[in-house]
Amino acid sequence: MSSEAPSKVPRHIAVIMDGNGRWAKERGWPRIKGHEAGAESVKAVMKASRDAGVEIVTLYAFSVENWSRPEAEVSGLMNLLPRMLSKHENILHENETRLRAIGRLDQLPAKTRKELDRVMAATEKYTTRQLVLALSYGGRAELTDAVKAIAGKVQAGELKPDEISDQTLSDHLYAPDLPDPDLMIRTSGENRLSNFLLWQLSYAEFYFTPEFWPDFREESLHQAIAEYQRRQRRYGGVKSC
């Protein structure tokens, strides 16, 4: 059983899963072994988030910048994703979790996209919990795509410039129905966003840990939530006494 107070549990947690390569390097293994180990941490975090009452988990799985990595590593990651989806699809069903994806998904290899689409379709009926994979994703790319879509509506006469608001931009993001994350977790000791959910993380609480992602398991997530619960969220205002 989770010890978190339900009223203080973040509804949406976003995670930058960092350190897979360094974890593998420390052991003298190929980087892909770190990514494979990281997949086990995804399982652990999904279980822990379910037990804690978290509704949505968004994972930064592959950035637009990651395409510039060595071809062997990129190929390994694109082959790993459909294998992991097939292997762990039963966990999504057991936990009634809907799988979604955000990013420039058209850039993914056909085999990867096919399996991703299949599992998303197979789980789209679930409404209690969601697992969102950010794939070929970049915060700047998302904002650029949103602005292009808005500009197209202005050009077509469907929208007036003076009607554009913060909500207009939010409505044109990759998953406009998702609430903004309450908590952002980054592993491996790096203290930056790395182009992740730049619009959505405006008022999120940030939690940085030196643990590499393959070492981040259930207790790690509970510690992050406990730290979140100790903070006061003011959203630019002043907390009343």
pLDDT per position as a tens digit, 190-240? 999 999 999 999 999 999 999 999 999 999 999 999 999 999 877 666 565
pLDDT of residue 211: 98
Q: What is the mean pLDDT of residues 73-97?
A: 94
The pLDDT assigned to 233 comes to 76
**Closest Cα partner for 229 from 5, 3, 2, 1?**
5
65 pLDDT above the threshold of 80: yes
> Could you report the per-residue pLDDT of 105-154, keeping only the tens digit for each?
999 999 999 999 999 999 999 999 999 999 999 999 999 999 999 999 99
Cβ pair 100, 120 in contact under 8 A: yes
Give the pLDDT score at 1: 39
Q: What is the pLDDT of residues 1-10, one digit of tens each?
A: 345 555 589 9
- 25 vs 12, 42, 81, 214, CA distance in Å? 32, 20, 21, 12
Given this model, what pLDDT does residue 149 score?
98
Average pLDDT, the chain: 94
Q: Which residues contact residue 16 at a Cβ distance below 8 angstroms, ignoring those fewer than 6 apart? A: 60, 184, 185, 186, 187, 190, 193, 194, 196
pLDDT in tens, 142-163: 999 999 999 999 999 999 999 9
pLDDT value for 51: 95
Q: What is the pLDDT of residue 80?
A: 94
Beta strands in 19-71 (DSSP E): 56-63
Residue 241 has pLDDT above 70, yes or no: no
| pTM for this predicted structure | 0.93
Tell me, what DSSP letter sits at residue 157? T
Q: Name the pLDDT band for 74 (thresholds 50, 70, 90).
A: very high
Cα 68 from Cα 75, distance rounded (Å):
11
Q: Are strands 183-186 and 97-102 parallel, antiparallel or unpaired?
A: unpaired
Which stretches does DSSP call E strand in 103-236? 129-137, 183-186, 205-208
Domains of the chain: 6-138+181-229 (3.40.1180.10)
Q: Which residues does the annotation mark as catalytic?
A: 18, 66
pLDDT for res 240: 54
| pLDDT tens digit sequence for 24-62 | 999 999 999 999 999 999 999 999 999 999 999 999 999
